[in-house]
Structure formats: C-alpha cells, structure tokens
C-alpha cells in the first residue's frame, strides 16, 4: 500500500473543504461526495473523498443536517476557508511582485524604446512618427506564468521571444497543484511556438492529456482564446506638429489627422499590408485606403529581429514633403530597431 504523507493529506483536506464551501455558497445545498466526484474532477477515489469528508466533520470543519447526507460548513470551516483566501491573496501578491520584478525591467525597456523611437521619427522629420509594436502573431512564446488572484480568478502572463509581455485575467477555479500542472503543460507545448500556432498546439496537446484533468483542459481552452485575441498596438507621436509645419498646416488636414487617431485598428491593418515587402513603402494621398489619410503621405518600412520582420515604423506628413530625406530617416531608424531586437532575441 502506497504511503501518503501527512502534508499531502493536509493539502487534500484543504482542497476538499474549499470545494465544499465554494459549492455550498453557490447553491445553498448540502454537499455530498457524489457532487465532488461528478463536478470537480478531484483526481481522488470516491472512498478517499468520503474519508476526507468524514475527517473534516470529525475535526469540526463540517457538519450535516439530520435530513441530508450532504455536509455544510461550520463556523470553524468558514474561518479556515477565509484564512486560506487571505493566505492565497498574500501569496498571489508576492507572486505578482516576483513576476513583475523579473519582467518589468525588460518590458519597460521595450515600451520606452518604442515610444522614444516614435518621438525620434517625429523630431527628425518634423511630421508625425509611429512605431507598431512587434507583431504578436509572428512572435514566439518564451514563457507562460500564472498568478492566482482569487479563488476563481487567474492572471495569465505571457512573455514572448521579442520581449513583449501580455497579460489577461480569466475565470478559473483551480487548486495550486492544478495551476502548476497547467503551467508545465502549456510551457512544454508552446515554448518556441508562434502565437499564431498556439491554438492548434493546445488543441493537439489536449487530445493526449489525461482524462481526469478535465478542469485544467477547460482553462487551457480559455487561454487558447486569450492568445487568439491578442491585439497589436502602435505608438504615434507628433500630432501637434501639423499645427506649425509648412505644408501640413491646413486646418482640414489637422482635423482629418486627429480623427484618424481614433481609427488606430484600421491604421494598423493598413500598414500591415506592406509588412513583408522588404523595402521602404510610400503611399501618397488617395493611395491610402483610410479616408482620413487621403490628403497625406505615409512612408513605412518593417523592422526585424534578425530572423524575420516583426513590426513596422514610419512617418505621416503632407504630400508636399522631401521624400528622399523622409525615406532615409525611416530606413536609418529601422536599422536601430533591428539591432535592438536582435540583441533581445539573442
């Protein structure tokens, strides 16, 4: 007979108590072992679950109404539950601090660098500069972390190869052990995989995963949706330049440009059209498919990490501009970004 340590027994009791109280709060009905077996995928035998419930009742954490075989929590049980939540919250805070400390420096470095690059483009050209963040769907997963914010909420933190950090909260009722197994499962399947392929890899991995981890698989599917819905972003600097620069001071142009900033997603879609062209791209006036740009010119080029194009930068200005000079500025600044992201990608 396999010996089970006291520490494992204690963790199992805590998990059982937590699930019983959670279910009782949600339904108001006494909780029987059959409910735990059918609904919560605890990876324990029915006999083990019944014994743990009996132990919790003997220790004063649970009781049961005379008319029901199910259990309900006692005040002592509620107290243990609340204390565990507080402890869990403190643990989550410490984990969040650890993750932030580990990633924040690199994240801030990238965010600051991209923002500063848009300002440099604007300053050199005296028009409006922009830099799109590294295109997420082409990026690769470097690491996935989780922070349990509450009993039913999980923060998913994604670090990509290009150094970008994405995070999103999802609803998830998992034990600490399940969270650890989920983290290992996803990192094993997704590390080095492009964001665009994560959904496919998760689905393939799920087919091979153990059936008694059904709850983990539900959360894995939610995380797959998180990856699918990650959006690109763009830094834009120098909108005010249009007020004073010769050739870009027409009031209607200013109004159009300010309105254009409200269509950021559409703008990203447009500049992505030239993502893989491998050259400097110039769109003049009506060549721009966004109406707000019909009286302006847009000069763009892609920047890379040494392996592939990962983002786009450029300048927006009047049709009456020094194209040779502006194209040279865009090309030179892109080389700086290329070097920066080559170093990050290692």
Per-residue pLDDT tens for 22-37?
888 878 888 888 888 8
Residue 240 sits in the same domain as residue 222:
no
- Kind and range of the H or E run holding 113: helix 75-125
What DSSP letter does each residue of 236-304 carry, written as one string?
A: EE-GGGGGTSTTS--HHHHHHHHHHGGGHHHHHHHHGGGTTS-S-EEEEGGGSSSGGGTTEEEEEEEEE
Mean pLDDT of the chain: 76
- Give residue 227's pLDDT: 64
Of 45, 73, 101, the residue that ends a domain is: 73
- Kind and range of the H or E run holding 141: strand 141-150
Q: Is the pLDDT of residue 195 over 50?
A: yes
Tokens 């447009």 belong to residue = 270
Q: Is the pLDDT of residue 60 over 60?
A: yes
Tokens 């604007």 belong to residue = 122
N-term to C-term CA, the chain: 51
Of 208, 228, 248, the residue that ends a domain is: 228
Section 312-317 average pLDDT: 90
Tokens 């010119």 belong to residue = 297
Q: Is the pLDDT of residue 261 over 80?
A: no
- Give residue 184's pLDDT: 85
* DSSP character at residue 139: S
Whether residue 61 lies inside any domain: the answer is yes
- Give residue 88's pLDDT: 65
Distances (CA, A) of 128 to 99, 124, 173, 326, 337: 35, 10, 47, 11, 18
- Give residue 243's pLDDT: 38
Whether residue 236 lies inside any domain: the answer is yes
Residue 310's domain comprises 109-135+232-345
Distances (CA, A) of 242 to 44, 91, 109, 246, 254: 68, 50, 29, 8, 6
Residue 331 sits in the same domain as residue 245:
yes
- Give residue 35's pLDDT: 83
Residue 331 sits in the same domain as residue 308:
yes
150, β-bridge pairs: 153
Q: Are residues 296 and 318 in contact, defined by beta-carbon separation less than 8 angstroms?
A: yes
Residue 269 sits in the same domain as residue 306:
yes
Residue 325, CB half-sphere, CA atoms under 13 Å: how many?
Answer: 9
Q: Would you place residue 251 in the very low, low, confident or very high pLDDT band (cuts 50, 70, 90)?
A: very low
309, β-bridge pairs: 304
Residue 211 sits in the same domain as residue 238:
no
Residue 118 sits in the same domain as residue 169:
no
How far is it, in rounded angstroms, from Cα 166 to Cα 232? 11
Tokens 């949600």 belong to residue = 26
64 in helix, strand or coil? coil
Residue 172 sits in the same domain as residue 36:
no
Return the CATH number at 176. 3.30.390.60
Residue 127 sits in the same domain as residue 236:
yes
Can you read off the two tokens belonging to residue 91? 């643990």
| Per-residue pLDDT tens over the stretch 61-117 | 998 887 667 888 898 888 888 877 767 666 656 655 665 555 455 555 777 788 888
Whether residue 247 lies inside any domain: the answer is yes
Residue 157 sits in the same domain as residue 174:
yes
Report the domain count for the chain.
Answer: 3
Of 228, 249, 280, the residue that ends a domain is: 228
Orientation of helix 214-228 relative to helix 176-190, angle to 10°? 50
Residue 118 sits in the same domain as residue 263:
yes
Return the CATH number at 316. 3.30.450.40
Residue 124 sits in the same domain as residue 239:
yes
Residue 340 sits in the same domain as residue 236:
yes
């Amino acid at each position: 007979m396999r010996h089970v340590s006291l520490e494992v027994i204690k963790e199992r009791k805590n998990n059982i108590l937590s699930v019983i109280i959670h279910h009782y709060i949600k339904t108001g009905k006494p909780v029987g072992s059959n409910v735990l077996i059918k609904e919560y995928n605890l990876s324990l035998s029915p006999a083990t679950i019944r014994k743990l419930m009996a132990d919790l009742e003997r220790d004063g954490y649970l009781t049961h109404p005379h008319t029901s075989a199910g259990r309900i929590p006692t005040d002592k049980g509620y107290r243990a539950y609340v204390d565990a939540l507080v402890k869990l919250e403190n643990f989550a805070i410490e984990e969040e601090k650890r993750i932030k400390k580990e990633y924040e420096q690199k994240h801030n470095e990238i965010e600051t660098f991209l923002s500063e690059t848009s300002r440099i483009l604007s300053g050199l050209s005296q028009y409006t500069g922009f830099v799109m963040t590294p295109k997420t769907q082409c990026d690769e997963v470097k690491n996935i972390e989780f922070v349990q914010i509450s009993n039913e909420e999980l923060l998913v933190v994604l670090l990509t190869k290009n150094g970008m950090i994405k995070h999103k909260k999802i609803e998830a009722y998992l034990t600490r052990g399940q969270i650890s197994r989920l983290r290992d499962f996803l990192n094993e399947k997704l590390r080095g995989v492009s964001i665009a392929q994560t959904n496919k890899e998760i689905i393939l991995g799920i087919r091979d995963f153990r059936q008694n981890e059904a709850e983990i698989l539900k959360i894995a599917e939610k995380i797959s949706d998180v990856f699918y819905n990650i959006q690109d972003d763009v830094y834009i600097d120098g909108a005010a330049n249009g007020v004073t620069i010769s050739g870009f001071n027409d009031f209607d142009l200013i109004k159009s440009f300010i309105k254009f900033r409200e269509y950021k997603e559409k703008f990203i879609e447009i500049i992505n059209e030239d993502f893989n062209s491998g050259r400097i791209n110039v769109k003049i006036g009506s060549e721009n498919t966004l109406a707000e740009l019909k009286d302006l010119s847009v000069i763009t080029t892609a920047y890379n990490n040494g392996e592939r194009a990962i983002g786009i930068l450029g300048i927006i200005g009047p049709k009456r501009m020094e194209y040779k000079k502006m194209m040279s500025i865009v090309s030179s600044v892109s080389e700086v970004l290329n070097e920066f992201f080559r170093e990050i990608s290692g």
